Amino acid sequence: MLRQIPATALFAAGVICSSSASPVSKLVTFTVAPGTTTEVGLIRPIPSPSGFIDGVIDTRSYTGSFSAKLVFDIDSLVPQNFTFNSGSIIGSGYDLQLFTNVIYASPYGVKSTFYFQQAGQISYAPTTSPTPGLVDFDGSLIPSQQRFLASQGIIVTGRSVTGSQVNRITDDYINFPDSLPLPGSAKLTISQVSKTRYSRTLKAKLVITIDDEETILLPVPTNPALNSSIIKTEVGSITSNTTNFTVPTAFGQWSTSNKLTNPDPETLNAFGIPYAILMALNLPVTAATLPITIENTEYGSIVTLDLPADGLENPMSAEYATDLTDPDWAPLPTSHYLHGADSLDYGKNGSPTFSFPSGHAGFIRFVSVVE
The count of structural domains within the chain is 2
Question: Can you say how many angstroms the Cα of residue 168 is from the centroid of all Cα atoms in its chain?
Answer: 42
Task: Please check whether residue 332 lies inside any domain of the structure.
Answer: yes
Averaged confidence pLDDT in the chain: 89
Q: Quick one: which of 141, 169, 135, 146 has its CA closest to 89? A: 146
> Has residue 47 got a pLDDT over 70?
no
Q: Where is the domain boundary, 202, 233, 248?
A: 248
Half-sphere exposure of 270 (CA within 13 A, CB side): 5
Q: Which of 214, 68, 78 minimizes the C-alpha distance to 146?
A: 68
- Residues 237/209, Cβ–Cβ less than 8 Å: yes
pLDDT of res. 51:
56
256 vs 9, residue with greater confidence: 256
Q: Are 287 and 172 found together in one domain?
A: no
User: Is residue 6 predicted with pLDDT exceeding 50?
Assistant: no
pLDDT of residue 315: 94
Higher pLDDT, 25 or 163: 25
CA nearest neighbour of 94 among 36, 32, 154:
154
pLDDT tens track for 296-343: 888 788 999 999 998 999 999 999 998 888 888 999 999 999 999 999
- 345 lies in some domain: yes
| 255 and 284 inside one domain | yes
Domain that holds residue 230: 33-248
Looking at the structure, tell me whether residues 276 and 332 fall in a common domain: yes
The reply to whether 51 falls in a domain is yes
Report if residue 14 sits inside a domain: no
Which domain-ending residue is among 248, 263, 283?
A: 248
